[in-house]
Amino acid sequence: MPRKAATAPSSSSRKSAGVSAAMPSSVIMARSQQDRFHLATIDHHDLNIHLRQVGLSIGNRELLVDAELKLESGVHYGLVGRNGTGKSTLLQALGDGLFEGISAHVHVMYVHQLFHVDMDNSAQLSVVDVLLSGDKQRLGRQHMMDLLEAGLESQTVSHALKQLDYEAVDAARAKMDRVAIKRSGLRGLTARNKLVALEHQLAQAKAAWDDAVQTSVDSDYDIVAANNWLESLYAQDDLSTEARAREILVDIGLSVEQQDRPFHELSGGWKMRVFLAQIEFLQPDLLLLDEPTNHLDLPRIQWVMHFIQTRLQHLTVVTVQYNEMPKDWEMGSMVC
Protein backbone atom coordinates (compact mmCIF):
# COMPACT_ATOMS: atom_id res chain seq x y z
CA MET A 1 0.00 0.00 0.00
CA PRO A 2 1.54 3.31 -1.06
CA ARG A 3 2.34 5.82 1.67
CA LYS A 4 2.89 9.45 0.77
CA ALA A 5 2.92 12.76 2.56
CA ALA A 6 -0.53 14.24 3.01
CA THR A 7 -1.80 17.76 3.21
CA ALA A 8 -4.20 17.80 6.12
CA PRO A 9 -6.99 20.36 6.35
CA SER A 10 -5.97 23.37 8.41
CA SER A 11 -8.37 25.28 10.62
CA SER A 12 -8.85 28.96 11.34
CA SER A 13 -10.93 31.10 13.67
CA ARG A 14 -11.53 33.80 11.06
CA LYS A 15 -15.16 34.52 10.26
CA SER A 16 -16.61 34.31 6.78
CA ALA A 17 -18.76 37.20 5.58
CA GLY A 18 -21.14 34.75 3.93
CA VAL A 19 -22.39 33.19 7.17
CA SER A 20 -25.77 34.43 8.37
CA ALA A 21 -26.39 35.10 12.05
CA ALA A 22 -29.66 33.17 11.74
CA MET A 23 -28.01 30.01 10.43
CA PRO A 24 -29.45 26.87 12.11
CA SER A 25 -26.83 25.31 14.39
CA SER A 26 -27.07 21.88 12.73
CA VAL A 27 -26.64 23.02 9.10
CA ILE A 28 -23.31 22.08 7.52
CA MET A 29 -21.93 24.48 4.94
CA ALA A 30 -19.04 23.35 2.73
CA ARG A 31 -17.23 25.10 -0.10
CA SER A 32 -14.09 24.74 -2.18
CA GLN A 33 -12.47 26.58 -5.05
CA GLN A 34 -13.43 25.88 -8.66
CA ASP A 35 -10.41 26.83 -10.74
CA ARG A 36 -10.24 27.13 -14.53
CA PHE A 37 -9.28 23.47 -14.86
CA HIS A 38 -12.30 22.29 -12.85
CA LEU A 39 -14.76 21.77 -15.70
CA ALA A 40 -12.10 20.02 -17.77
CA THR A 41 -11.24 17.49 -15.08
CA ILE A 42 -14.34 16.95 -12.93
CA ASP A 43 -15.69 14.09 -15.06
CA HIS A 44 -12.39 12.30 -15.51
CA HIS A 45 -11.83 9.00 -13.72
CA ASP A 46 -9.33 10.54 -11.32
CA LEU A 47 -9.54 8.96 -7.88
CA ASN A 48 -7.14 11.49 -6.33
CA ILE A 49 -8.74 14.38 -4.46
CA HIS A 50 -7.16 17.83 -4.22
CA LEU A 51 -9.37 20.64 -2.94
CA ARG A 52 -8.18 24.22 -2.46
CA GLN A 53 -9.67 27.08 -0.45
CA VAL A 54 -11.78 24.64 1.50
CA GLY A 55 -14.31 26.18 3.85
CA LEU A 56 -16.41 24.25 6.35
CA SER A 57 -18.85 25.52 8.93
CA ILE A 58 -21.71 24.23 11.04
CA GLY A 59 -24.24 26.89 11.89
CA ASN A 60 -22.32 30.09 12.67
CA ARG A 61 -19.14 28.28 13.65
CA GLU A 62 -16.27 28.17 11.18
CA LEU A 63 -14.31 24.92 11.27
CA LEU A 64 -12.09 25.34 8.20
CA VAL A 65 -11.18 28.51 6.31
CA ASP A 66 -8.99 28.59 3.17
CA ALA A 67 -7.74 25.06 3.88
CA GLU A 68 -6.27 22.54 1.47
CA LEU A 69 -7.37 18.92 1.40
CA LYS A 70 -5.36 16.32 -0.50
CA LEU A 71 -6.16 12.60 -0.57
CA GLU A 72 -4.18 10.31 -2.84
CA SER A 73 -5.72 7.12 -4.17
CA GLY A 74 -4.85 4.00 -2.19
CA VAL A 75 -3.45 5.82 0.85
CA HIS A 76 -4.88 5.25 4.34
CA TYR A 77 -5.18 8.40 6.47
CA GLY A 78 -5.84 8.82 10.17
CA LEU A 79 -7.39 12.05 11.43
CA VAL A 80 -6.97 12.50 15.18
CA GLY A 81 -8.15 15.34 17.41
CA ARG A 82 -10.35 16.36 20.28
CA ASN A 83 -14.13 16.52 19.98
CA GLY A 84 -15.60 19.62 18.38
CA THR A 85 -12.75 20.33 15.96
CA GLY A 86 -14.75 19.29 12.88
CA LYS A 87 -13.38 15.83 12.09
CA SER A 88 -16.77 14.12 11.77
CA THR A 89 -18.29 17.17 10.08
CA LEU A 90 -15.58 17.04 7.41
CA LEU A 91 -16.33 13.36 6.78
CA GLN A 92 -20.06 14.05 6.55
CA ALA A 93 -19.50 16.86 4.05
CA LEU A 94 -17.32 14.60 1.91
CA GLY A 95 -19.85 11.78 2.19
CA ASP A 96 -22.74 14.04 1.16
CA GLY A 97 -20.84 15.38 -1.85
CA LEU A 98 -20.93 18.99 -0.65
CA PHE A 99 -17.50 19.94 -2.02
CA GLU A 100 -16.96 20.98 -5.64
CA GLY A 101 -13.91 19.51 -7.31
CA ILE A 102 -14.43 15.79 -6.64
CA SER A 103 -15.11 13.67 -9.70
CA ALA A 104 -18.64 12.30 -9.94
CA HIS A 105 -17.04 8.94 -10.71
CA VAL A 106 -15.55 8.68 -7.19
CA HIS A 107 -17.72 6.30 -5.16
CA VAL A 108 -17.71 7.60 -1.59
CA MET A 109 -18.90 5.57 1.40
CA TYR A 110 -19.36 7.17 4.82
CA VAL A 111 -19.54 4.81 7.82
CA HIS A 112 -20.35 6.14 11.27
CA GLN A 113 -20.72 2.82 13.08
CA LEU A 114 -19.77 -0.73 12.25
CA PHE A 115 -22.89 -2.38 13.66
CA HIS A 116 -25.31 -0.48 11.43
CA VAL A 117 -27.20 -2.32 8.68
CA ASP A 118 -29.35 -0.05 6.51
CA MET A 119 -32.29 -2.43 6.08
CA ASP A 120 -35.63 -2.10 7.89
CA ASN A 121 -36.36 -5.80 7.47
CA SER A 122 -32.87 -7.07 8.32
CA ALA A 123 -34.39 -9.48 10.87
CA GLN A 124 -36.02 -11.34 7.97
CA LEU A 125 -32.91 -11.50 5.81
CA SER A 126 -30.22 -14.12 5.53
CA VAL A 127 -26.58 -13.20 6.05
CA VAL A 128 -25.84 -13.18 2.31
CA ASP A 129 -28.96 -11.10 1.63
CA VAL A 130 -27.77 -8.48 4.11
CA LEU A 131 -24.43 -8.33 2.33
CA LEU A 132 -26.13 -7.96 -1.06
CA SER A 133 -28.50 -5.30 0.33
CA GLY A 134 -25.65 -2.82 0.38
CA ASP A 135 -25.71 -2.68 -3.42
CA LYS A 136 -28.40 -0.01 -3.81
CA GLN A 137 -28.12 0.01 -7.60
CA ARG A 138 -28.80 -3.73 -7.70
CA LEU A 139 -31.81 -3.31 -5.39
CA GLY A 140 -33.09 -0.48 -7.56
CA ARG A 141 -32.81 -2.58 -10.72
CA GLN A 142 -34.65 -5.44 -9.04
CA HIS A 143 -37.44 -3.10 -7.95
CA MET A 144 -37.85 -1.79 -11.49
CA MET A 145 -37.85 -5.31 -12.95
CA ASP A 146 -40.50 -6.43 -10.47
CA LEU A 147 -42.78 -3.49 -11.32
CA LEU A 148 -42.38 -3.89 -15.08
CA GLU A 149 -42.92 -7.65 -15.01
CA ALA A 150 -46.02 -7.24 -12.84
CA GLY A 151 -47.32 -4.54 -15.19
CA LEU A 152 -46.86 -6.72 -18.26
CA GLU A 153 -48.50 -9.69 -16.57
CA SER A 154 -51.51 -7.75 -15.25
CA GLN A 155 -51.81 -5.46 -18.30
CA THR A 156 -51.10 -2.35 -16.23
CA VAL A 157 -47.92 -1.33 -18.02
CA SER A 158 -48.85 2.34 -18.29
CA HIS A 159 -49.37 2.50 -14.54
CA ALA A 160 -45.99 0.82 -13.87
CA LEU A 161 -44.14 3.18 -16.22
CA LYS A 162 -45.69 6.29 -14.68
CA GLN A 163 -44.92 4.99 -11.18
CA LEU A 164 -41.27 4.50 -12.10
CA ASP A 165 -41.15 7.99 -13.62
CA TYR A 166 -42.57 9.44 -10.41
CA GLU A 167 -40.10 7.51 -8.22
CA ALA A 168 -37.13 8.67 -10.32
CA VAL A 169 -38.13 12.33 -10.02
CA ASP A 170 -38.87 11.94 -6.30
CA ALA A 171 -35.41 10.44 -5.71
CA ALA A 172 -33.78 13.33 -7.60
CA ARG A 173 -35.84 15.85 -5.60
CA ALA A 174 -34.87 14.24 -2.27
CA LYS A 175 -31.19 14.32 -3.23
CA MET A 176 -31.35 17.97 -4.31
CA ASP A 177 -33.21 18.85 -1.11
CA ARG A 178 -30.32 17.48 0.96
CA VAL A 179 -27.84 19.44 -1.14
CA ALA A 180 -29.82 22.71 -1.04
CA ILE A 181 -30.02 22.64 2.75
CA LYS A 182 -26.25 22.34 3.10
CA ARG A 183 -25.04 24.79 0.45
CA SER A 184 -24.68 28.53 0.80
CA GLY A 185 -24.13 31.50 -1.49
CA LEU A 186 -24.50 31.16 -5.25
CA ARG A 187 -24.22 27.36 -5.12
CA GLY A 188 -27.01 27.25 -2.54
CA LEU A 189 -29.22 29.51 -4.67
CA THR A 190 -28.60 27.33 -7.73
CA ALA A 191 -29.47 24.19 -5.77
CA ARG A 192 -32.68 25.77 -4.44
CA ASN A 193 -33.73 26.81 -7.95
CA LYS A 194 -33.16 23.25 -9.14
CA LEU A 195 -35.19 21.99 -6.19
CA VAL A 196 -38.15 24.21 -7.14
CA ALA A 197 -38.00 22.90 -10.72
CA LEU A 198 -37.91 19.30 -9.50
CA GLU A 199 -40.87 19.88 -7.19
CA HIS A 200 -42.87 21.16 -10.17
CA GLN A 201 -41.74 18.16 -12.23
CA LEU A 202 -42.72 15.85 -9.37
CA ALA A 203 -46.25 17.29 -9.28
CA GLN A 204 -46.58 16.65 -13.01
CA ALA A 205 -45.31 13.08 -12.62
CA LYS A 206 -47.79 12.45 -9.80
CA ALA A 207 -50.67 13.73 -11.94
CA ALA A 208 -49.60 11.48 -14.83
CA TRP A 209 -49.37 8.50 -12.46
CA ASP A 210 -52.86 9.22 -11.11
CA ASP A 211 -54.22 9.45 -14.67
CA ALA A 212 -52.62 6.10 -15.52
CA VAL A 213 -54.62 4.44 -12.74
CA GLN A 214 -57.76 5.29 -14.71
CA THR A 215 -56.33 3.86 -17.95
CA SER A 216 -57.79 0.43 -18.69
CA VAL A 217 -55.87 -0.37 -21.88
CA ASP A 218 -52.10 -0.32 -22.37
CA SER A 219 -50.83 1.22 -25.58
CA ASP A 220 -48.55 -0.72 -27.89
CA TYR A 221 -45.94 1.99 -27.32
CA ASP A 222 -45.97 1.42 -23.55
CA ILE A 223 -45.73 -2.35 -23.94
CA VAL A 224 -42.73 -2.06 -26.27
CA ALA A 225 -41.09 0.50 -23.98
CA ALA A 226 -41.55 -1.76 -20.94
CA ASN A 227 -40.09 -4.79 -22.72
CA ASN A 228 -37.11 -2.79 -23.97
CA TRP A 229 -36.50 -1.43 -20.47
CA LEU A 230 -36.68 -4.92 -18.99
CA GLU A 231 -34.21 -6.21 -21.55
CA SER A 232 -31.80 -3.42 -20.65
CA LEU A 233 -32.16 -4.14 -16.92
CA TYR A 234 -31.53 -7.85 -17.39
CA ALA A 235 -28.40 -7.04 -19.40
CA GLN A 236 -27.07 -5.07 -16.41
CA ASP A 237 -27.76 -7.88 -13.95
CA ASP A 238 -24.46 -9.58 -13.16
CA LEU A 239 -25.13 -13.20 -12.25
CA SER A 240 -21.69 -13.46 -10.62
CA THR A 241 -22.58 -10.86 -7.97
CA GLU A 242 -23.96 -13.33 -5.44
CA ALA A 243 -21.06 -15.73 -6.04
CA ARG A 244 -18.59 -12.93 -5.25
CA ALA A 245 -20.54 -11.99 -2.12
CA ARG A 246 -20.46 -15.58 -0.90
CA GLU A 247 -16.74 -15.86 -1.58
CA ILE A 248 -16.08 -12.80 0.60
CA LEU A 249 -18.20 -14.28 3.40
CA VAL A 250 -16.26 -17.55 3.21
CA ASP A 251 -13.03 -15.56 3.50
CA ILE A 252 -14.15 -14.04 6.82
CA GLY A 253 -15.07 -17.46 8.19
CA LEU A 254 -18.75 -18.07 7.32
CA SER A 255 -19.64 -21.32 5.57
CA VAL A 256 -22.31 -21.41 2.84
CA GLU A 257 -24.71 -22.97 5.34
CA GLN A 258 -24.10 -20.14 7.81
CA GLN A 259 -24.56 -17.55 5.06
CA ASP A 260 -28.13 -18.74 4.47
CA ARG A 261 -29.11 -18.48 8.12
CA PRO A 262 -30.99 -15.40 9.47
CA PHE A 263 -28.70 -12.45 9.99
CA HIS A 264 -30.24 -11.57 13.37
CA GLU A 265 -28.96 -14.87 14.81
CA LEU A 266 -25.35 -13.71 14.49
CA SER A 267 -23.47 -12.38 17.49
CA GLY A 268 -22.45 -8.73 17.62
CA GLY A 269 -18.90 -9.60 16.61
CA TRP A 270 -20.02 -11.52 13.54
CA LYS A 271 -22.46 -8.78 12.53
CA MET A 272 -19.52 -6.38 12.60
CA ARG A 273 -17.53 -8.73 10.35
CA VAL A 274 -20.42 -8.98 7.89
CA PHE A 275 -20.63 -5.21 7.70
CA LEU A 276 -16.91 -4.97 6.96
CA ALA A 277 -17.36 -7.68 4.34
CA GLN A 278 -20.11 -5.53 2.82
CA ILE A 279 -17.62 -2.68 2.45
CA GLU A 280 -15.24 -5.02 0.60
CA PHE A 281 -18.16 -6.19 -1.56
CA LEU A 282 -19.18 -2.63 -2.50
CA GLN A 283 -15.59 -1.50 -3.25
CA PRO A 284 -15.92 2.26 -2.65
CA ASP A 285 -13.13 4.44 -4.00
CA LEU A 286 -13.10 6.59 -0.86
CA LEU A 287 -14.00 5.04 2.51
CA LEU A 288 -14.73 7.42 5.39
CA LEU A 289 -14.69 5.74 8.81
CA ASP A 290 -15.95 7.82 11.73
CA GLU A 291 -14.52 6.28 14.92
CA PRO A 292 -14.97 2.68 13.66
CA THR A 293 -13.42 1.12 16.77
CA ASN A 294 -15.53 3.07 19.26
CA HIS A 295 -16.92 0.77 22.01
CA LEU A 296 -14.94 -2.22 20.69
CA ASP A 297 -12.70 -4.35 22.87
CA LEU A 298 -9.03 -4.89 21.97
CA PRO A 299 -9.45 -8.19 20.02
CA ARG A 300 -12.18 -6.66 17.85
CA ILE A 301 -10.14 -3.50 17.29
CA GLN A 302 -7.21 -5.63 16.13
CA TRP A 303 -9.50 -7.63 13.81
CA VAL A 304 -10.97 -4.45 12.28
CA MET A 305 -7.55 -2.88 11.73
CA HIS A 306 -6.16 -6.06 10.18
CA PHE A 307 -9.16 -6.31 7.86
CA ILE A 308 -8.78 -2.71 6.70
CA GLN A 309 -5.04 -3.07 6.12
CA THR A 310 -5.23 -6.39 4.26
CA ARG A 311 -8.65 -6.58 2.58
CA LEU A 312 -9.17 -2.87 1.86
CA GLN A 313 -5.54 -1.91 1.28
CA HIS A 314 -6.18 -0.60 -2.25
CA LEU A 315 -8.91 1.84 -1.17
CA THR A 316 -8.44 5.43 -0.09
CA VAL A 317 -9.43 5.38 3.58
CA VAL A 318 -9.87 8.25 6.03
CA THR A 319 -10.33 7.13 9.64
CA VAL A 320 -11.36 9.56 12.36
CA GLN A 321 -10.48 8.89 15.99
CA TYR A 322 -11.08 11.06 19.05
CA ASN A 323 -7.93 10.31 21.05
CA GLU A 324 -5.36 8.26 19.13
CA MET A 325 -5.10 5.74 16.34
CA PRO A 326 -4.65 2.10 17.35
CA LYS A 327 -0.93 1.27 17.43
CA ASP A 328 -1.27 -1.43 14.76
CA TRP A 329 -2.95 1.06 12.45
CA GLU A 330 -0.23 3.66 12.84
CA MET A 331 2.41 1.33 11.42
CA GLY A 332 2.56 2.33 7.75
CA SER A 333 -0.33 4.81 7.57
CA MET A 334 -0.56 8.59 7.32
CA VAL A 335 -1.74 10.08 10.63
CA CYS A 336 -2.74 13.77 10.63
For 204-263, the pLDDT digits (tens) are 999 999 888 877 678 899 999 999 999 998 888 776 788 999 999 999 999 999 999 999
Q: What is the pLDDT of residue 237?
A: 73
Residue 50 has pLDDT above 60, yes or no: yes
Q: Poorest-confidence range of 36-40, 131-135, 188-192?
A: 36-40
For residue 45, name the pLDDT band (cuts at 50, 70, 90): low
Please tell me the pTM assigned to this model. Answer: 0.70
For residue 24, name the pLDDT band (cuts at 50, 70, 90): very low
332: region left, alpha or beta (phi > 0 left; psi from -120 to 50 alpha) = left
Residue 320 has pLDDT above 50, yes or no: yes
Q: What is the pLDDT of residue 170?
A: 93
For residue 325, name the pLDDT band (cuts at 50, 70, 90): low
Return the higher-pLDDT residue of 112 and 272.
272
Residue 108 has pLDDT above 90, yes or no: yes
If you average pLDDT over each of 90-104, 247-261, 313-327, which comes out highest? 247-261
Whole-angstrom CA distances from 73 to 1, 106, 138, 308, 312 are 10, 10, 26, 15, 12
Spans of all domains in the chain:
71-130+241-335, 136-236
Of 317, 272, 319, 276, whose CA–CA distance to 295 is shortest?
272
Reported as type and span, the H/E element at residue 76 is strand 76-80
Return the higher-pLDDT residue of 22 and 287.
287
Return the higher-pLDDT residue of 15 and 78.
78
Q: Poorest-confidence range of 94-108, 273-287, 313-327?
A: 313-327
The DSSP symbol for 99 reads: S
Q: What is the pLDDT of residue 60?
A: 83
For residue 198, name the pLDDT band (cuts at 50, 70, 90): very high
Of 320, 295, 205, whose CA–CA distance to 329 is shortest?
320
Q: What is the pLDDT of residue 21?
A: 34
- Residues 6+ positions from 63 with CB-CB distance below 8 Å: 11, 56, 57, 85, 86, 89, 90
Residue 57 forms beta bridges with which residues? Answer: 29, 62
Task: Check: CB of residue 37 under 8 Å from CB of residue 87.
Answer: no
Return the higher-pLDDT residue of 273 and 180.
273
Calculate the average pLDDT of the chain.
Answer: 81
Q: pLDDT over 70 for what percent of the chain?
A: 79
Say whether 146 sits in a helix, a strand or coil: helix
For residue 29, name the pLDDT band (cuts at 50, 70, 90): confident
**Which listed CATH number (3.40.50.10420, 3.40.50.300, 3.40.47.10, 3.90.930.60) goes with 71-130+241-335?**
3.40.50.300
Say which amino acid occupies 251: D
Q: What is the pLDDT of residue 15?
A: 32
Whole-angstrom CA distances from 222 to 22, 212, 213, 246 are 50, 11, 14, 38
Q: Whole-angstrom Cα distance, residue 155 to residue 331? A: 62
Q: What is the pLDDT of residue 59?
A: 80
Q: What is the pLDDT of residue 18?
A: 32
Give me the phi and psi of 257, to 5 degrees please.
Answer: -60, -45
